[in-house]
Chains A and B, each alone.
Chain A
Amino acid sequence: MTGSQEIRAPDLSLLTIQQDSQYDFLFYLNFICSQSASLIKIFLCSGMPVDWLVKTMQARGLEVFTQTFSRTLPFPDENKERYMVKGTNVYGILRAPRAPRTEALVLSAPCTQGDHNNQAVGLLLGLAQYFRNQIYWAKDIIFLINEHDLIGMQAWLEGYHHTNTTGMDWSPLQGRGGSIQAALSLELSSDVITSMDLVLEGLNGQLPNLDLANLFYAFCQKIGVLCTIQGKLQRNDWDSVSGYSHSVQTMMLMVMKQASGRPWGDHGLFLRYHIEAATIKGINSFRQYKTDTNTIGRLLEGMYRKLNNLLERLHQSYFFYLMPSLSHFVSIGYYMPAFGLLAVILLLRALDLWVQLASPPPGTEDGVVDTEQMWSPDVLSVLTPLVISHLTGVALYYLPIHFQKMALEHFPVSDTEAVVLTAIAVYTAGLALPHNTHRFVSGEGTEHGWRVLKLVAVLYLAVLLGCTALINFSLGFILALTLVPVAAFVTPHVPKVPSAFVLVILSPACTLLFSVFFFQELQEVPISFQDGWVLYLSVISQGILDHSLYGSLVYPLIALLVYPCWLLFWNILFWE
């Protein structure tokens, strides 16, 4: 046993560490982890050791089942180096000794090749053995080891809940627990750690209930394990400038991660099924005080005991929040008014345009003839840019994937690059639209025409941003920050070149580019421009892949809705 084990915090009513049997647990854990970790190190070079895992879990008294899945990605994923993915998930169910099989908890560890997560599987097996000897479980516990991290997890969840939303090919699950109440995913790469990092952001920016984060943090404090969020330790000096900026940085990191819409841990896919889940990562940095696997095991055992005592799903605390640190949060009631104020700008502009349109234009003498002329080309003049912009958006959505073969024939690039560069090409081609579509627009040149178009575009943008902010606040807010100013001020009469430049700089693609650099800055790993550009291309490819693999909504939202909206403003700028 290493490290001091005194408990410093006041008693929590859910605290459940059994002091006298600690020795048994530690003994088991020591033995099992050392064995498992070394064995897994041998096997992991060649894929997941399915048979060994099945045998080991069965030896621990779990009901073991496997699930095979396969998926061909639309184009190769260069980050994880996979294209045609085939894998097997292994999961063992620990049945509650006295309870009916109506509820379940999940502990998962993604098994990836190499040394990335070797310790987690060993810890999981040790915990399985310890848990099997206890009689106080009121819910089944499912120990899941998924291959190919998110893809395997998606296959397992789809199989468990009998849904098939992403077109993956998986074998049906032979064994099942009850309805899953909570899940924890474990990522542990070293056998000693200095701190545990809590990852909350899930698919489409969804977050677990704040109670889960509070539970974990309170228990970490009680055990004496350092706990971080976004990889940053929290500071005690809230009043000083540096302390405040530290927490702002932490919060901005969370905003960036949430806006990307991708699941930042295996837990991210559970949230869609209304299962509260979080990922716990062990971080080994250059600190002197290390925590060993035994304490991590105690931590997880305590967490599961707490989740076991729950009588209903976690629902009492907030589902929408931002965390500047683990002990502070900003709830939706505080941050939504900020977004509301931005949306009000758009609504005021729309009101202004409506009033301008309704009042007769100055300087007309024969009002009767002019009014007739004014109101007739309304629909036509607006519909054409709308349709053309949305068709460009649809092209941006479909062309990159479907025409990658054609791109490959003509250009010497790899598959992924072909897709990404096609996307950028379509995006840039859209910029040339206003000059080409003037032939089709009949209401060209009138003051009235662009006002109507701008009214429609502004209202459209307001509704779009509102809906986005409701689902994924960070994405909605970032888009609002960049798009609302230009949307409000763009007219055909502002100076063309500077405003075109500003409009392009604040378009979604460039916002993404700047966000990439900003994100790296926040994580204190600043990168050069070339590396940033490569990272930017990989972010675009990840976005497209996330959409086809897990159903992330960021890429279709940007391509089909935000980009056409932006194109409308581009049209307005070049109206004559």
Chain B
Amino acid sequence: MKILTLWSLFSTYLLASSLNIENHAAQFFSSGHTNNWAVLVCTSRFWFNYRHVANTLSVYRSVKRLGIPDSHIVLMLADDMACNHRNPKPATVFSHKNMELNVYGDDVEVDYRGYEVTVENFLRVLTGRLPPSTPRSKRLLSDDRSNILIYLTGHGGNGFLKFQDSEEISNVELADAFEQMWQKRRYNELLFIIDTCQGASMYERFYSPNLMALASSQVGEDSLSHQPDLAIGVHLMDRYTFYLLEFLEDIHPASKTNMNDLFKVCPKSQCVSTPGHRTDLFLRDPGSVLITDFFGSVRKVEITMETINLTDPIEQVEQSPVNGELQKERNSYVDQLPVSEIIHQKPKQRDWHPPDGFILGLWTLILLVFFKTLAFQETAVGSKPPYRVQ
């Protein structure tokens, strides 16, 4: 009897777990991305822009530590700070004062260096339009299952980012580049972080889906640098990236921190500027997006002793809404360039508008002429006396 109950329990357990495994498998294959890429760009040169290189290298360090390999990182540094003649500690780039943390390290791999960091090269990397002779390390070989992290830092303004003190990239160009990437299915989801003055202006014009953006300051605000080191003689990091680095140092490949925590990095009390973010183009809820979805390369591994039947179509797991509210309506793409207005085509009007001014004026003129002639005829007719006096 006991054995029977035990055996029945065991069998029900197996059945339940097998059902669970099927569920797990469904969930396993329904996740969004399969690989991670990172494009990290520092756009300014000269010794006093040491902090921009340190910014980029600290994000590089975190990204590498969390698992993204060098073959999947495109690192663009516009100037060489580690071997600059003015560096009192050659071959190092520090992010904390008193030389606590050397973010240059021993195994940094810079893909685009010095004068190769230009707007053209950056856009070619993003869109994939590179000459056939470009080596693999300089290409962004992402596919439609890649999550890409793009980090830009340097000097910027309202709607532009300065490259190398001689050219600029505007927010419209950047948005168009991302749209090209979307149309070529070069990304699954994209996280865009920018640490410049008035950084929020750079993500204002995005219109492609699955983009999430963070910036260190709003339009009209300057991003400030963190602290100088008295021995090196320059400011080492910008505030936003400094606190971002501190935040990322606590992340490990298995951590479950999500994007909402990232949005809280560097509040105004620490950053002096107000960091901003944009999630309206992103289809998932930011609370369900893990940091490691973008900053790390986490391979999902599940170990099971069960056999799983994959011939059945995978059911999409209905994700219950977080707050229990109704499902939102479908997102529609923001119409960035209203082409119809540009080429003077009237869009289909849903509600009736009174006729155009010109047409109105033309009709009025015609009516006037008509009635004037009528009046004239009448007066002409009326001049002749209708009867003769006898």
Residues of A whose CB lies within 8 Å of any CB of B are 11, 13-20, 96-99, 134-138, 305, 308-309, 311
A15 touches B86 (CB 8 A): no
> For the complex, is B105 an interface residue (Cβ under 8 Å from A)?
no
By a CB distance below 8 angstroms, the chain A residues around B235 are 13
By a CB distance below 8 angstroms, the chain B residues around A17 are 230
B233 touches A14 (CB 8 A): yes
Q: B221-253 toward A: CB 8 Å interface, digit per residue (1/0)?
A: 000000010110111000000000000000000
12 examples of A-B residue contacts, CB within 8 angstroms: A11-B228, A13-B228, A13-B235, A15-B233, A16-B230, A18-B230, A18-B231, A19-B231, A135-B88, A135-B90, A308-B86, A309-B234
Residues of B whose CB lies within 8 Å of any CB of A are 46-48, 83-88, 90, 228, 230-231, 233-235
By a CB distance below 8 angstroms, the chain A residues around B90 are 98, 135
A309 touches B86 (CB 8 A): yes
By a CB distance below 8 angstroms, the chain A residues around B48 are 13, 309, 311
By a CB distance below 8 angstroms, the chain A residues around B233 are 13-16, 305, 309
A134 touches B88 (CB 8 A): yes
By a CB distance below 8 angstroms, the chain A residues around B85 are 96-99, 136-138
By a CB distance below 8 angstroms, the chain B residues around A98 are 83, 85, 90
The 8 Å CB contact of A138, one of B86, B228, B230, B231, is B86
| Residue in A closest to B45 when the chains form the complex, CB atoms | A311
Identify the 7 closest CB pairs spanning chains A and B, nearest first: A138-B85, A16-B233, A99-B85, A136-B88, A18-B231, A138-B86, A98-B85
Bound complex: CA A97 to CA B235 (Å): 24
Q: Do A15 and B230 contact each other (CB < 8 Å), given the known contacts A98-B90, A137-B85? A: yes
By a CB distance below 8 angstroms, the chain A residues around B46 are 311
B87 touches A309 (CB 8 A): no
Closest chain B CB from A434 CB (angstroms): 65
By a CB distance below 8 angstroms, the chain A residues around B47 are 309, 311
By a CB distance below 8 angstroms, the chain A residues around B230 are 11, 15-19
Bound complex: CA A311 to CA B49 (Å): 12
By a CB distance below 8 angstroms, the chain B residues around A135 are 88, 90
Bound complex: CA A135 to CA B46 (Å): 18
Closest chain B CB from A459 CB (angstroms): 48
- Most chain-A CB neighbours within 10 Å: which of B46, B83, B87, B233? B233
Bound complex: CA A15 to CA B88 (Å): 13
- Most chain-B CB neighbours within 10 Å: which of A16, A97, A99? A16
Closest chain A CB from B228 CB (angstroms): 5
By a CB distance below 8 angstroms, the chain B residues around A309 are 47-48, 86, 233-234
Bound complex: CA A134 to CA B235 (Å): 21
Bound complex: CA A97 to CA B86 (Å): 10
Given contacts A11-B228, A15-B230, A311-B48, 19 further A-B contacts (CB under 8 A): A13-B48, A13-B233, A16-B230, A16-B233, A18-B88, A19-B230, A19-B231, A96-B85, A97-B85, A98-B83, A134-B88, A135-B90, A138-B84, A138-B86, A308-B86, A309-B47, A309-B48, A309-B234, A311-B46
| Residue in A closest to B227 when the chains form the complex, CB atoms | A11
Bound complex: CA A11 to CA B47 (Å): 18
Closest chain A CB from B64 CB (angstroms): 28
| Residue in A closest to B51 when the chains form the complex, CB atoms | A13
Bound complex: CA A134 to CA B85 (Å): 11
By a CB distance below 8 angstroms, the chain A residues around B231 are 16, 18-20
| Residue in B closest to A138 when the chains form the complex, CB atoms | B85
Bound complex: CA A14 to CA B48 (Å): 9
Closest chain B CB from A303 CB (angstroms): 13
Closest chain B CB from A62 CB (angstroms): 18
| Residue in B closest to A97 when the chains form the complex, CB atoms | B85
A136 touches B87 (CB 8 A): yes
- Most chain-A CB neighbours within 10 Å: which of B85, B228, B231? B85
| Residue in A closest to B87 when the chains form the complex, CB atoms | A136
By a CB distance below 8 angstroms, the chain A residues around B86 are 136, 138, 308-309
By a CB distance below 8 angstroms, the chain A residues around B88 are 18, 134-136
By a CB distance below 8 angstroms, the chain A residues around B84 are 138
Closest chain B CB from A143 CB (angstroms): 19
- Most chain-A CB neighbours within 10 Å: which of B48, B87, B88? B88
Bound complex: CA A19 to CA B97 (Å): 13
Closest chain B CB from A95 CB (angstroms): 12
By a CB distance below 8 angstroms, the chain A residues around B234 are 13, 309
Bound complex: CA A19 to CA B87 (Å): 16
| Residue in B closest to A305 when the chains form the complex, CB atoms | B233
Bound complex: CA A136 to CA B90 (Å): 9
By a CB distance below 8 angstroms, the chain B residues around A99 are 85
| Residue in B closest to A16 when the chains form the complex, CB atoms | B233
Closest chain A CB from B264 CB (angstroms): 28
